[in-house]
Structure 1
Amino acid sequence: MKAIKNRLVIYSGIIIGLNLLLFGVTSTTVTPDKNINITRSIITAWVHTDSFLDRVYTYNIDGVSDSIATLINAYNADSIDAGMCISATIQNFNNRDQEHRTNCTTGATLTQLTSNAKELELVTGEIQLKVGAKSLGTVEYYISTKSTAPFYEQIRNKKGFITLNLVMNLLSVFLIYMLYRAELKKANKKVQADIKAAKNIFDSKLYEKDKNYEIAITELKAKHHDEIVQKELEVQKSLEQNHVEITDETRISILKKISNGNKKVFPINDEVIYISYYHPDAKIYSKSKDERSFRSSLSDIMTAFHVDFIHLNRKVMLNKAYIGNRNHVTLIESGKKLKVILKSKTGEEEVEVTNACRDAFIQLLANNNNLIEDKAAS
């Protein structure tokens, strides 16, 4: 699962990086698809209409501002991303009062346009407002022929942007989900393969008890008894070298500790099939005797006694001598989990082999050559 999380972090980083790259690439200037001369002509014609001049003549400042705003809104509606501002200075007929109004397209200001005039290739102009020979003010326009708005900002107010943005985000989430499913499926396949391998080893190697094969092995052992004994000694020596040496003093000390904590006599010998731990007691399950309980930890049992155990999980350990005995140990496949059925005189118990113990358990199955001989029964 840790590997899956790492991959998802990488995939998410790639998606975010691509979005940032797209934002950076599309932040360059673009030229609006608009003839600037047509725009200038429209502004000139607009401020010379009778309705606009009537508002100027009557010193209707709000009316003049509304008229300019209408022109600006029409420019905005034309989906042009370049900024534009129109500034009107109106004075009354007696030249005593004067008002100033400025209207700009969405996102633009007069200061922004004039301070970046070179970069925006700003086009400016001034129109005199006259009634007859009388000058009643001026109209100034500032039109940028380029826009520096990033691509995301340019399309923000366009139709369908919200839908497009939602679809893109959903696609990103879906992509991450599909990547997660793919990684999880890959991990599940590995677990299933491990379980299947253990099942195959268990069925095809450890529990093949064909009668003819058993007779052949028995005869072979009779003929080569000395050689087999020598090999068993070599294997035992190898196992002893792979374990930490435990002194007799240590064993005696732990035995005293266990004895002091229990009033009953208990057997720990080859009869024991497996031991389970339920705090603070350990329960012994054997071939010929009922379940017994005594107070001790599993680690103390493994250290104090000469029976060779292997952990199936944190609470259960199995006598290795019964690995090749189908009458007492049966491997089953349960979905993604590896389980064994342990049989004693008390009954049957289904035990899960945890991930921490699975590799050692499978390795023991693969290396076990005592496929026929029931060591625990001998």
Structure 2
Amino acid sequence: MLKLGIIGTNWITQQFVDAANESGEWQLTTVYSRHQETAQSFADKNHAAETFTDLTTFFERGSFDVVYIASPNSLHFEQAKLAVAHGKHVIVEKPAVANQAEFEQLDECLKAHPDVLLFEAARQIHEVNFKRVQDQIAKMDQIQGATLTYMKYSSRFDAVRAGEEPNIFSLKFAGGALQDLGVYLAYDAVGWFGMPDEVAYYPTLLPTEVDGKGVAILRYPAFTVTLNVGKTSNSFLPSEINGLRDAIVMDNAAELGKVTYQDQDGQAHNLGVQPDKNPMLAEARDFAMVINDPAAHQAEYQAWRRLSRNVNKLLFNLRQSGHIYFSDAERDSTDK
């Protein structure tokens, strides 16, 4: 049984803890929050034995093997680096880091601690339906392009409209639509088609200077992929991958609840399975599988790390194209 520590006590942390419990591979032991009341409330609800409000003490004294990090985006890098330095395996919510420089620094930390594993929690790549789409693409004669959409109105946007700046819509916290819902679409594109040759991002900027929504164009040698992402409105459009006379149709490019293959004769064939009620269950099982026997699952782990690296690079390049910078260093790298 893997002992789990957590950073962050929001709804997504609860969802992962529930998935971990359902998998039967994990036991939540340790909770970190800046506020003792918040940490204790989460611990009591989930039967965790320890709470901490100091991050260094959490890593030095906490009785856990793996830490799940679900803090604001801008904090992921330093917290993951601290975890690796203390010999803890890391599961960090997407996006794992804000830019390529942070990714490379984390890689150097991992080289110095070769027994430590780090996973980006990009849940859909572990699900059956993601892999069914991948398999069907390989069977199609010629891909002509794709349009992938993920747009959900964020309750935090109400605060932006009221003149406030919540973390998810703040440059300081590496927020914006692309760095949230867009990560799912980036994983789809890179996981299914590889890295594009050229990219462009056309954001709709908010008063907080992050993108509330946007359209990304990914150019491949023989086709283009369009990503529609947003947190300021809802979209109910399906997503499509177009062949010649055939297509793959998804009800939602991130959640992949229903996946259909339309053949060249117009016949519809169900490709997918009923998703798990908890969408994080598949990744909880996969992470436990690799941590429990890393030697037997090096191929899977390294493939996830390569995919994570490429997605991080794609997101960074898209933000640079859209002139969205989280630091002066990022802006300076573009000017050069």
Higher alpha-carbon Rg: 1
TM over 0.5: no
Structure with greater helix percent: 1
Report the TM-score, using the length of structure 2 for normalisation. Answer: 0.19
More contact order relative to length (CA 8 Å, sep ≥ 6)? 2
Report the TM-score, using the length of structure 1 for normalisation. Answer: 0.17
